Structure 1
Amino acid sequence: MDTGSVTFAFFLIFSGAAALASVALYTRQPLIIAYIALGALIGPSGFSLVTDLQQLSDIGHIGIIFLLFLLGLDMQPQALFATIRNSTVVGLVSSAIFFLASWLLASFFFAEYGESVIVAVAMMFSSTIIGIKLLPTTILHHKHIGEMMIGLLLLQDLLAIIVLVLIMASGSAEDGEAAWHIVKVLLALPLLGMAAWAFVRYVLLRLIQRFDRFHEYIFLLAIGWCLGMAEAAQLLGLSAEIGAFVAGVSIATSPISQYIAVNLKPLRDFFLILFFFAVGARFDLAMLQQVWMPALCLALLVLAMKPLTYRLLLKGVSERSSLAWDLGFRLGQASEFSLLIAYIAFDAGLLGLEASLTIQAATIITLLVSSYIVVLNYPTPIAISDRLRRD
């Protein structure tokens, strides 16, 4: 048996995930917990049965791309603009509050000013994966909470991209070049949107109308369009996730968009299992004793601060109290972008190992605890209780 092969790694990951998922369901735990725990158990810091994490992480990242693509398929362009406009004030003010509070706390643990700033920036964002994955499809289609969540997450994703551009530019470029990168990002988004709209109108929809009887062809066309736009976005300095979302929005008006969404969901879940496995496997458990105190304090701050902040801000813009609490807890965690910031800033020499591991540990803690809170108290597609299960 070739223990270094992708086939063997997949066997361990999906067999192990099935076993731990069974335990999780019997003990009424969220399935996401099982995937992260499996990564820690058989990854390099556990039994070292799966060690090629870079490849698995890259493969798992496709799950996020498909997640954003399916999200875009549920958004009409007119509704998208209205959603972003309505959530801009809440998104910007909340990000500033999260940054300031996290920076004050990080300053107690990290004497280096730059490290405390990066740690604080990493805590600004909420998880698109957790937010959308645990949001019932019926709510996403028909409820105001789905629109508000999408608007806030998209705004945060754009801010996260600017942060990543700054970090990468700071590690290898002058300030003037970093400023140009940011301008290029802001110009690239509308350019990508217009190009996608033109291609869909004059090419893609005509192909779909002509060959819509061939389901396999529609499936391949959808995957090719999603991944092609993801690559185009990266070439323009944006993220693959933004490109995939634009790809979904561009064909949301097509009658076949919901057929595409239903057929791509199993593929999305396949890759998301790999993503969460890689999150658990990439964390060095041996270093946990050095960072557990700042990581725990930071995680507790995020878990307490985000729901309360969103509740107050959303009530301030005339949202119902029940919706404000619901949305606050659904967004009450750090983000996959937080992990990416930790990895890239460490590679660029802007962040020490201890600070990087603190971000990773705090993020994982918030992902786990937030999943528990949402799954056990609010409607989700994976709720253990029949009363709360919605899809």
Structure 2
Amino acid sequence: MEFSSITFSFFLIFTGAAVFASIALYTRQPLIIAYIALGTCIGPYGLSLVTDTKLLSDIGHVGIIFLLFLLGLDMQPQALWATLRKSTVVAISSSALFVAAGFGVTALFGYSLQDSLIVGAAMMFSSTIIGIKLLPTTVLHHRHIGELMIGLLLLQDLLAIFILMALFSASGGAEGMGTSLLYTVLALPLLIALALLFVRFLLLPLIRRFDRFHEYIFLLALGWCLGLAELAVLLGLSAEIGAFIAGITIATSPIAQYIAVSLKPLRDFFLILFFFSVGAQFNIGALAQVLAPALVLSILILTLKPVAYRYLLKGVSEHRSLAWNLGFRLGQASEFSLLIAYVAVGGALISEQASLLIQATTIITLLISSYIVVLNYPTPIAISERLRRD
């Protein structure tokens, strides 16, 4: 048997996930914790049973793409536009506050100016997966809190794209960075225009003509989602943005709900791989080097984000209970934070310790935030029957 094969890796991951998930359910723990813990145990920094975490991370990223595609399928363009206008002030104000907080803590522990700036930038984002995965479907798609969350997360995704482009372009100097950022700004409306034209003149006619063949509709949806995601990447945007645009452009089609239901099991398959890879890529043995700043920064993020969102949302006329609810659901660092850490250290823009600090803070806040939400708010995986909502 080839123990390093992808088949054997999948066997270990999904069999292990079933075992860890069973333990989590019996001990009334969130399932996301089980997947991250499994990655830590059998990944390269644990028992080293699964070593190709880069491949698994890339595969798991498909789960995030499908997640954003499904979100787009359930959003009406008019409602999204109204929500984005209200979310802009909150997103920009909160991002500036979180950058300042991350910068201050990192600088306090003696990190360099550049390390502190990049760590601060990584702290401005909240997790798309935690936020959306733990929000009940009916609440996400048909209530105001779902619209607000999507608006805030999409604006954060756009900010993340600019930061990643800046990091990728840093080696080219200020002129190269400016050109790349301008290219990104122009690419978004171009992508939307191309998507609308393609849907109107090709995709919707095909759906109307062959909507009786469900297998064909399923394949067409997969091709459209992944195709626009790849086009977005080619234009300098993120695959997540492309997938969301792919979903929202066909949201008015009568077949949209069938596509959404069909893709959910596929999405969950890839998301398990994503959370496994998060745990597997974290070097727990080196945690002692950054433990003190990671704990301080994690506590600050877990407390500051809910409070900041509560007051900022209240300032734009949202109810207090909704503001607290949304604040706690977005009260963590993000998978984009991990990506910033990997890109920055790969380009020698930050030290290994600063990258490890971002990773440690992200994982700690993901874990604790999951517990806070699952134990106190309605979620599809709530431990309490009273709070469990699909």
**TM-score class, shorter:** over 0.9
Give the match for residue 248 of structure 1.
247
Give the match for residue 228 of structure 2.
229
Please give the per-residue CA displacement for 1:343-387, whole angstroms capped at 9, x wherever unaligned: 000000011111100100000000000000101110111112111
Give the Cα separation in 1 of the matches to 2:289 and 2:102: 19
Matched, 1:120 2:131: no
What SS does the aligned partner of 1:350 have?
Answer: coil
Matched, 1:313 2:305: no
Give the Cα separation in 1 of the matches to 2:233 and 2:153: 19
Give the match for residue 46 of structure 2.
46
Give the match for residue 14 of structure 1.
14
Matched, 1:182 2:204: no
Give the Cα separation in 2 of the matches to 1:27 and 1:111: 39
What is the identity, as a one-letter code, of the residue corresponding to 1:285? I
Give the match for residue 344 of structure 1.
343
Q: Give the ranges of 4+ consecutive aligned residues of structure 1 lying more than 4 Å apart after TM superposition.
A: none
The 5 Å alignment of 1:99-138 reads 99-138=99-138
1:111 Cα deviation (Å)? Answer: 3.1
1:108 Cα deviation (Å)? Answer: 1.2
Give the Cα separation in 1 of the matches to 2:222 and 2:68: 13
Please give the per-residue CA displacement for 1:282-331, whole angstroms capped at 9, x wherever unaligned: 01111111111111111111000000000011111111110000000000
Give the Cα separation in 1 of the matches to 2:244 and 2:317: 28
What is the identity, as a one-letter code, of the residue corresponding to 1:317? V
What is the identity, as a one-letter code, of the residue corresponding to 1:346? V
- Kindly indicate whether the alpha-carbon contact (under 8 Å) linking 1:383 and 1:389 is maintained by their aligned counterparts in 2: yes
Q: In the comparison of the two structures, how many residue pairs are matched?
A: 390
What is the identity, as a one-letter code, of the residue corresponding to 2:187? A
Give the Cα separation in 2 of the matches to 1:43 and 1:344: 21
Give the match for residue 33 of structure 1.
33
Give the Cα separation in 2 of the matches to 1:149 and 1:179: 30
- Kindly indicate whether the alpha-carbon contact (under 8 Å) linking 2:103 and 2:119 is maintained by their aligned counterparts in 1: yes
Please give the per-residue CA displacement for 1:258-281, whole angstroms capped at 9, x wherever unaligned: 110111000000000000000000
1:110 Cα deviation (Å)? Answer: 3.5
Give the Cα separation in 2 of the matches to 1:321 and 1:193: 35
Give the Cα separation in 2 of the matches to 1:84 and 1:257: 22
The 5 Å alignment of 1:82-93 reads 82-93=82-93
Please give the per-residue CA displacement for 1:122-143, whole angstroms capped at 9, x wherever unaligned: 0000000110101111011221
What is the identity, as a one-letter code, of the residue corresponding to 2:103? W
Give the match for residue 277 of structure 1.
276
- Kindly indicate whether the alpha-carbon contact (under 8 Å) linking 2:229 and 2:243 is maintained by their aligned counterparts in 1: yes
What SS does the aligned partner of 1:374 have?
Answer: helix
1:102 Cα deviation (Å)? Answer: 1.4
TM-score under structure 1 length normalisation: 0.99
Please give the per-residue CA displacement for 1:175-211, whole angstroms capped at 9, x wherever unaligned: 1111111111111111101110110011001111111
| Identity across matched positions, percent | 69
1:254 Cα deviation (Å)? Answer: 0.5
Give the match for residue 287 of structure 2.
288
Give the Cα separation in 2 of the matches to 1:205 and 1:199: 9
1:77 Cα deviation (Å)? Answer: 1.1
What is the identity, as a one-letter code, of the residue corresponding to 1:375? V
- Kindly indicate whether the alpha-carbon contact (under 8 Å) linking 1:35 and 1:273 is maintained by their aligned counterparts in 2: yes
- Kindly indicate whether the alpha-carbon contact (under 8 Å) linking 1:330 and 1:374 is maintained by their aligned counterparts in 2: yes
Give the match for residue 76 of structure 1.
76
- Kindly indicate whether the alpha-carbon contact (under 8 Å) linking 1:110 and 1:355 is maintained by their aligned counterparts in 2: no
Q: Which stretch of the first structure deviates more once superposed, 13-22 or 102-111?
A: 102-111
What SS does the aligned partner of 1:55 have?
Answer: helix
Give the match for residue 333 of structure 1.
332
- Kindly indicate whether the alpha-carbon contact (under 8 Å) linking 1:342 and 1:360 is maintained by their aligned counterparts in 2: yes
- Kindly indicate whether the alpha-carbon contact (under 8 Å) linking 2:86 and 2:316 is maintained by their aligned counterparts in 1: no
CA RMSD of aligned residues (A): 0.7
Give the Cα separation in 1 of the matches to 2:169 and 2:214: 44
1:234 Cα deviation (Å)? Answer: 0.4
What is the identity, as a one-letter code, of the residue corresponding to 2:34? A
Give the Cα separation in 1 of the matches to 2:317 and 2:82: 16
- Kindly indicate whether the alpha-carbon contact (under 8 Å) linking 2:70 and 2:244 is maintained by their aligned counterparts in 1: yes
Give the Cα separation in 1 of the matches to 2:369 and 2:94: 18
Give the Cα separation in 2 of the matches to 1:31 and 1:250: 32
Give the Cα separation in 1 of the matches to 2:255 and 2:293: 49
Gaps of 5+ in 1: none
Please give the per-residue CA displacement for 1:207-261, whole angstroms capped at 9, x wherever unaligned: 1111111111111100000000000000000000100000001100101111101
Give the Cα separation in 1 of the matches to 2:369 and 2:255: 34
Give the Cα separation in 1 of the matches to 2:327 and 2:110: 28
Gaps of 5+ in 2: none
Give the Cα separation in 2 of the matches to 1:110 and 1:53: 32
What is the identity, as a one-letter code, of the residue corresponding to 1:115? D
What is the identity, as a one-letter code, of the residue corresponding to 1:63? G
